[in-house]
Amino acid sequence: MSGLVQYVLVRGDLKATWPLGAIIAQACHACTAVIYQHRNDENVVNYTADMDNMHKCILEIKNEDQLKKLSEKLNENGIDHKLWVEQPENYPTCLAVKPYPKTEVKQFFNKFKLLK
């Protein structure tokens, strides 16, 4: 699994109005969904084979608009991810990227800070 990382981006503006547990749940939903959707992918198989050593980076993105723009950019560049949209509100809250070698995807996430 060496070098594989899963990036998760959570909307920072939700911190003002959402309970912490609800925000964490959104990230968990996105991670579970993207892993399941790509469960046969070589990176995912290798990442989940060593569960005690998974590496995730939980980053903050400013708001819904930036989240959608990042999702579009990832789509344009063929980066597999799940944009989590809370239902039934149809409210995008976060996205999780399928595990990738860090060197392949870090350029998309360098400008974001860790979620605090």
Q: pLDDT digits over 2-58, tens only?
A: 699 999 999 999 999 999 999 999 999 999 999 999 999 999 999 999 889 999 999
- Enter the pTM of the model: 0.95
Query: Dihedral, CA atoms, 72, 111, 93, 39, nearest 10 degrees?
Result: 70
> Quick one: 97 exposed, middle or buried, by C-beta within 10 A (0-12, 13-18, 19+)?
buried
> Quick one: 76 exposed, middle or buried, by C-beta within 10 A (0-12, 13-18, 19+)?
exposed
**Quick one: pLDDT at residue 2?**
61
